[in-house]
Amino acid sequence: EAGVVQSPRYKIIEKKQPVAFWCNPISGHNTLYWYLQNLGQGPELLIRYENEEAVDDSQLPKDRFSAERLKGVDSTLKIQPAELGDSAVYLCAVVAGEETQYFGPGTRLLVL
């Protein structure tokens, strides 16, 4: 987890409300990922960035999810409007060393 800060750590919202998550890695990591992790499952890729460019967003539900990575460092992931099924942990990861991914602690979202 060292080097990747995510906020907030927990978020509870009502359905149809918007929500945003932030990922703040230390600088120098060109590749950044957002993952969704459902209870009892492994992480599933939502979007991958190379610097500012989203190079793989094929798994991102674009009708309600959006993401951006300005200046190629920090990134935000937004859901608008949130649905009950969006309750999950949202993980941010960066690549360092030999193609290894380092994860932040995640944001746990609960949609009521």
Partner 1 sequence: GEDVEQSLFLSVREGDSSVINCTYTDSSSTYLYWYKQEPGAGLQLLTYIFSNMDMKQDQRLTVLLNKKDKHLSLRIADTQTGDSAIYFCAERYSSASKIIFGSGTRLSIRP
Site for partner 1 in 63-102 (CB under 8 A): 91, 93, 95, 98-102
* Minimum distance from residue 76 beta carbon to partner 1 (Å): 18
- How many residues of this chain interact with partner 1, rule: CB under 8 A? 26
Residues 6+ apart with CB under 8 A from 81: 15, 16, 17, 18, 64
Q: What is the DSSP letter of 28?
A: T
Q: Which stretch binds partner 1 (CB under 8 A): 15-23, 62-70, 72-80, 104-112?
A: 104-112
Q: Which stretch binds partner 1 (CB under 8 A): 18-26, 44-52, 64-72, 80-88?
A: 44-52
* Minimum distance from residue 77 beta carbon to partner 1 (Å): 15
CB 28 within 8 A of CB 7: no
**Is 41 an interacting residue with respect to partner 1 (CB under 8 A)?**
yes
**Is 30 an interacting residue with respect to partner 1 (CB under 8 A)?**
no
In the sheet that holds 4-7, the strands lie side by side as: 4-7, 19-25, 75-79, 65-68
CA quadruple 78, 80, 84, 86: dihedral positive or negative?
A: negative
Report, in angstroms and rounded to the nearest whole number, the Rg of the chain calculated over CA atoms. 13
Residue numbers at the binding site for partner 1 (CB under 8 A): 1, 4, 6, 31, 40-45, 48, 55-56, 91, 93, 95, 98-106, 108
